Amino acid sequence: MKKIFTLIAAIITANVAFGQAEETLSGNITANRTLSNDTIYFLDGFVYVKNGATLTIEPGTIIKGVSGNRSTLIITRGSKINANGTKNQPIVFTSDQDAGNRNPGDWGGIVILGKAKINRAADCTTCPGAAIAANEAGVQTNIEGDVDNASGDGLYGGTDDTDNSGTMTYVRIEYAGVIITSGNEINGFTLGAVGSGTTINNIQVSYANDDSFEWFGGTVSAKNLISLGAIDDDFDVDFGFTGKIQFAVAQRDSNNYDTGSGPTTNSFESDNDGGPTYNNPRTAPVFSNVTIVGPLANGVALAQSNSFQNAARLRRNSLTSVFNSVFMGFPTGILVDGSGSTAAYLGDTLRLKNNISAGATVSDIRSTVSASDALVKTKFEGVDACDTLDATAGILTDPFNYGNPNFLPAANSPALTGGSFTDSYVSGNFFTPTTFRGAFGTINGVVFQWDECWAKYNPQTQNYTTPGINYLDVVASYTSASVQNVANFTNTSLNATSYVWNFGDGSPTETGTNPSHTYPNQTANYNVTLVAIQPCGNDTITQQVQIIIQGVSEYANVLGVTVYPNPAQDLANVNFTMPTTENVALSVYDIAGKMVSNQMVGKLVAGKQNIEVNTSTLDAGIYFVRIAAGNINQTVRIAVTK
């Protein structure tokens, strides 16, 4: 049994089952803590990272939420999470249930709370942490999910828009989300007043029981987000969120939907606040290059539920803007809901430009303000350069494939072109300009498919029974053989898709599988490097290759080297004449240039010399005997027979 650690009120128990390390996390983490990828962790109940502590999680670590008790990781204001996975070693938060038995809502989720501004008019006076909020700068309220307490551990909000809550990159969150009461839920990934000093990239939320991502105020920006099979919304923004998001994809599962009343299941849902009011900061994030794949393939009516409504519902005076994106397979593409948001769109403070709406069975875009509906459609298809298409076929390669989708634009797709970044909302350093629309495409001639390796679209089948995740299985290896100054390389790498060779002589690299290379016509050693490449990463090997030029030893033999008997069986005599007294070394190499014997003879005086070489251990074949004396290197060929 491993030692049981206690951090203030945190209880971290450890055990080893069948040689496998496991630990349970519960309560409070109040000091810096690192979770390692050689252990599987179980998140049990509400776990708060607080008092300025930093929780660090190694790449490839697996954390399982204990089902049935709202298990949730909460990063409180002033504390941090540094969960930095990699492309081939993502960090995974998932259910504690076995493969095949996982369900949305098995556990709570991840909540990050910061000190950026929110648009609530005043501190919450009925929150459990109201006394704490009353003594803090700015406005605070409690986050959804009943995670607040008298210590104010569920409060979010403040005055610092550059607040830093840490980093999360290459992280998967699966089967989370808890509905407590209507409008009071724990989402898959909740960000409350998270500041711009925080880094959020490459996050996948799969099969959340409520929203996949919800931002409650704050200024944090993010790239490369995936929402898969959410029950409610994919991207929900409110209470003054003003961050920027680029490259995001949502795929809806037609069997997963919210059973609440009204138009409950949208991909985008945007509110300024629940009033609605015009309180500042206004909810005004900017999204670009988003792909929304709804439940309707090619406009076919959905039999399971009428809960699916809009690819985007922009309402309650919010100013959410979307550029260069693809909305497909929802009854309505974009609903501009209410007079406040409708006026903002027509007044160009809410912007929808260079988008595609396809396969809608009701409308590609509409406003709930009947007098403005025609104006909204005219603007969308006119000056905003958006396309409306009857069907989804031919836009993306295989977007409706559950388990193995391909969101790249199809051949001759309208999504291949039309992207534009001339608008001031998408200019600046954050946004990467693209000519394609949607989340994936080609940039500078290179396919841009940022979900490779780390993202999984079939989480129900993933096996999380052993610690550590590593999707890199490429192994670089090769053998070499040379004749004179030409070396032939045989590639023995495993699972690689392409190669780069550096031959160590200053020549350009090559990409052949089994290349031949001509070296300078002189005896020398070269460090040859092979990089074996596959989508999840690379492996590299460097070996020394010796080039022995036979003619130097056989026709310019200044030492007068002779070998007898030649061919030899068990013993060969090497005769030569030393012009001066020198230290002498004798080596034997096989035909591939590999050293098979190395003998330091020592200092020899000038005159005739004879050295015996044991050949009894050598296989039959051609070998080279090399004598190094001072600045002279002589090589002579010898045949060994058996």
* Domains of the chain with CATH codes: 23-119+150-459 (2.160.20), 478-547 (2.60.40.10), 552-640 (2.60.40.2550)
Residue 9's pLDDT is 40
- Judge whether 190 and 110 are in contact, CB under 8 Å: yes
Percent of the chain with pLDDT over 70: 94
Residue 8's pLDDT band (cuts 50, 70, 90) = very low
The secondary element (H helix, E strand) that includes residue 133 is: helix 130-133
Under DSSP, the state recorded for 202 is E
- Residue 27 pairs in a beta bridge with 47
Mean pLDDT of 605-617: 89
User: Of 217, 210, 216, 167, which is closest to residue 188 (Cα–Cα)?
Assistant: 210
If you count them, how many residues does the chain have?
642
pLDDT at 327: 98
Q: Taking 80 as the threshold, does the pLDDT of residue 447 lie above it? A: yes
The reported pLDDT for the residue numbered 304 is 55
User: Which carries the bigger pLDDT value, residue 244 or residue 3?
Assistant: 244
> How far, in Å, CA of 148 to CA of 581, rounded?
87
- Range with the poorest average pLDDT among 301-305, 417-421, 637-641: 301-305
pLDDT score of 394: 96
pLDDT at site 402:
94
Alpha-carbon distances, residue 208 vs 107, 190, 233, 272, 404 (angstroms)? 10, 11, 9, 23, 19
Note whether 272 and 316 are within 8 A (CB). yes
Q: How high is the mean pLDDT of the chain?
A: 91
DSSP letter (8 states) at residue 371? G
The whole-number pLDDT of residue 18 equals 46
Q: What is the pLDDT of residue 302?
A: 64
Contact between residue 19 and residue 38 where contact means Cβ atoms under 8 Å apart:
no
Identify the band that residue 259 occupies on the pLDDT scale cut at 50, 70 and 90: confident
Strand partners, 530: 501, 541
| Cα–Cα distance for residue pair 428/431, rounded to 1 Å | 7
Contacts of 352 (CB under 8 A, 6+ apart): 321, 322, 323, 334, 345, 365, 380, 384, 386
d(CA 310, CA 333): 6
Low-confidence winner among 62-66, 201-205, 219-223, 599-603 (lowest mean pLDDT): 599-603
Q: For the residues 244-248, what does the mean pLDDT come to?
A: 98
C-beta of residue 202 within 8 angstroms of C-beta of residue 189 = no
The confidence band for 7, taking pLDDT boundaries of 50, 70 and 90, is: very low
286-308 average pLDDT score: 83
When mean pLDDT is compared across 196-205, 342-351, 497-506, 614-623, the lowest value belongs to: 614-623
How far is 52 from 35, CA to CA, in rounded Å? 17
* Cβ contacts of 571 within 8 Å, gap of 6 or more: 612, 613, 614, 615, 616
pLDDT for 550:
57
pLDDT band at 634 (very low <50, low <70, confident <90, very high): confident
Q: Name the pLDDT band for 5 (thresholds 50, 70, 90).
A: very low
> Any idea which residue has 């494939």 for tokens?
401
Which pLDDT belongs to residue 12? Answer: 42
The average pLDDT across 333-343 equals 98
pLDDT of residue 597 exceeding 90: no
| Secondary structure in 3-state letters for 474-541 | CECCEEEEEECCEEEEEECCECCCEEEEECCCCCCCECCCCCEEECCCCCEEEEEEEEEEECCEEEEE
Rounded mean pLDDT, 205-228: 98
Output the pLDDT for position 418.
98
303 pLDDT tier (thresholds 50, 70, 90): low
pLDDT tens digits, one per residue of 557-581 = 557 888 999 889 999 999 888 888 8
- Enter the pTM of the model: 0.81
Confidence of residue 416 (pLDDT cuts 50, 70, 90): very high
Confidence (pLDDT) at 17: 44
Query: Which pLDDT does position 210 carry in this prediction?
Result: 93
Confidence (pLDDT) at 524? 86
- Largest Cα–Cα distance in the chain? 111
Distance of CA 237 to the CA centre of its chain: 24
**Residue of 427, 351, 340, 344 lying closest to 383 (CA atoms):** 351
Residue 19 has pLDDT above 50, yes or no: no
**Taking Cα atoms as reference points, which of 187, 133, 181 lies closest to residue 155?**
133
pLDDT tens digits, 88-114: 999 999 999 999 999 999 999 999 999
Tokens, residue 569: 């069986």
Model confidence pLDDT, tens digit, residues 142-172: 999 999 999 999 999 999 999 999 999 999 9
